[in-house]
Amino acid sequence: MANIDSGIFSSYKRNTDLFDELFDENGSIKSVYQELFDLYGAHSIKDYVNLNDKAKASFFNQGITFQVYGKNETQEKIFPFDLFPRIIDSNEWEIIEKGSIQRSKALNLFLWDIYHEKQIIKDGIVPLELISSSNNYLHQMMNLDPPGGIYNHISGTDIIKHSDGNFYVLEDNIRCPSGVSYVICNRTALKRALFGVFNHYKTHTVTDYGENLLDLLESVKPKGVDNPVCVVITPGMYNSAFYEHSYLAKTMGIELVQGSDLFVENDFVYMKTIRGPIKVDVIYRRIDDLFLDPLEFKPDSALGVPGLFAAYKKGNVTLANAPGTGVADDKAVYTYMPQIIKYYLDEEPILNNVHTYHCSRPDELKYVLEHVHELVIKPVDEAGGYGISIGNKLTKAEIENVKKQIKESPRKYVAQPIMSLSVHPTYIDKSESFEQRHIDLRTFTILGKDKEYVLKGGLTRVALEKGNLIVNSSQGGGSKDTWVLKN
């Protein structure tokens, strides 16, 4: 039997100020992890290093890699993966699952409303500027009824556990959230390396995502189509998420197309096959709104399909997610989520929102400028962890610089208290030992016509640099297999 004083956890340094997922405040193992701790503790660090190297090679050989855009060259890297899984028990999961669905539904109703009657603005719940000043608002979507009434078919919700032990949502991603393929690959890699540990836990499967996604796509087919032809559209193989696009197409058994594979004729969309054109009914698109159609949006986009939006407007093809969803996952809308949920669903939010200061409001701007050192400053419309400043990590000069930027365009920034993401023991190559690292969780929610589903697992992302709070893969984050336990 392993204990804290020997085996792979012997040099684990526990900072008691942080919320540790494995150890309680007294340093005892939480009951749900006890068995796993015993199993892993029985290994020497050498065994572990060995397994870890094998897992890495397996990822590399399978080509499960992503591109990092550097200053000079683009590099092919594996997504760092940690063999010690994160466990979420069924009670905690229930909160996460219900909370994720609640948010996705509320966002969907919000989108319908702001692209139709705008009742929520008329009722004074959210200000008009929220919409009118957003870069992601598409006037082209006004009064359009997407099939099944669904805008955000696939949502990625980024959830953390704060030092108070409660879950908070940091972000809703309802444009083209990525990462789901890693959830499945992490599971596969862990099974290959340490299949024995699965005998001791009853864990939900994560391999049913593809079937559910295909069900969803088929459920939102255009009117009058019996057997819809569904495709995934990708910007191409040099996109950082190309592996995921090909993985999803493969598991759903549908074609992975690029813009140049499609054309539009009489407002219908066709793909060019070896046997001539075949009509396409539903497109799971992994390219951004503005690149979808050069005739409607960015005229120089080579990724999209000329005429696609007109076909969409006529209801001849479904796009998932719908164009224009970005207006609702921007960080300014986020701050109104409790009110939005209450307004449409008449429910209290299940998952907490982090309190947010709007730099667009003079009094809040004043507070932010005075407290930069203890806040996280975020640009409202950047994805991937870019442009985030964490106050207590900045030098004086940097703080002044941030203040200057905020003053120049207050609407562009929001600020939040620095949340303390929970930590999880994570194997660190450099020190060849387990160390505390901050983690979050991205859940994947599918919303279809009469269908809702949350992948039972999600992507636990790990900030691999000591003390770092930013978990995005583009910023050097890794991930863990995430086990949701059955009752």
| Residue 252 Cβ vs other proteins, minimum distance, rounded to whole Å | 9
HEC sequence for 146-208: CHHHCCCCEEEEEEEECCCCCEEEEEEECCCCCCHHHHHHHHHHHHHHHHHHHHHCCECCCCC
> Between β-strands 318-320 and 282-285, what pairing exists: parallel, antiparallel or unpaired?
parallel
Between residues 258 and 475, which has the closer beta carbon with respect to other proteins? Answer: 258
Size of the site for other proteins (CB under 8 A): 22
- When binding is defined by CB under 8 A, the residue of 274, 346, 395, 487 that contacts other proteins is 274
Between residues 63 and 362, which has the closer beta carbon with respect to other proteins? Answer: 63
Q: Tell me the C-alpha distance between 236 and 256, whole Å.
A: 9
* 310 within 8 A of 264, measured Cβ to Cβ: yes
- When binding is defined by CB under 8 A, the residue of 66, 112, 247, 413 that contacts other proteins is 247
Collapsed DSSP state (helix, strand, coil) of residue 180: helix
Is 432 a binding residue for other proteins by CB under 8 A? The answer is no
| Residue 243 Cβ vs other proteins, minimum distance, rounded to whole Å | 8
Between residues 151 and 247, which has the closer beta carbon with respect to other proteins? Answer: 247
Task: Single out the segment in contact with other proteins by CB under 8 A; choices: 270-278, 291-299, 376-384, 411-419.
Answer: 270-278
Q: Cα 313 to the chain's mean position, in Å?
A: 28
- When binding is defined by CB under 8 A, the residue of 29, 189, 214, 249 that contacts other proteins is 249
Tell which positions 34-93 bind other proteins, by CB under 8 A. Answer: 60-63
Residue 420 burial by CB count (10 A; 0-12/13-18/19+): exposed, middle or buried?
Answer: middle
Task: Single out the segment in contact with other proteins by CB under 8 A; choices: 146-154, 265-273, 403-411, 429-437.
Answer: 265-273
Q: Cα 152 to the chain's mean position, in Å?
A: 13
Handedness of CA 39, 40, 41, 42 (dihedral sign): positive
Is 475 a binding residue for other proteins by CB under 8 A? The answer is no
Q: Cα 249 to the chain's mean position, in Å?
A: 19
Task: Supply angle C-alpha 478, 237, 455, rounded to 5.
Answer: 45
Collapsed DSSP state (helix, strand, coil) of residue 66: strand
| Residue 18 Cβ vs other proteins, minimum distance, rounded to whole Å | 39
Is 110 a binding residue for other proteins by CB under 8 A? The answer is no
Is 362 a binding residue for other proteins by CB under 8 A? The answer is no
Handedness of CA 61, 67, 73, 75 (dihedral sign): negative
Tell which positions 376-415 bind other proteins, by CB under 8 A. Answer: none
| Residue 177 Cβ vs other proteins, minimum distance, rounded to whole Å | 20
Is 246 a binding residue for other proteins by CB under 8 A? The answer is yes
- Interface positions with other proteins (CB under 8 A): 60-63, 236-237, 242-243, 246-247, 249-250, 255-258, 260-261, 271-274
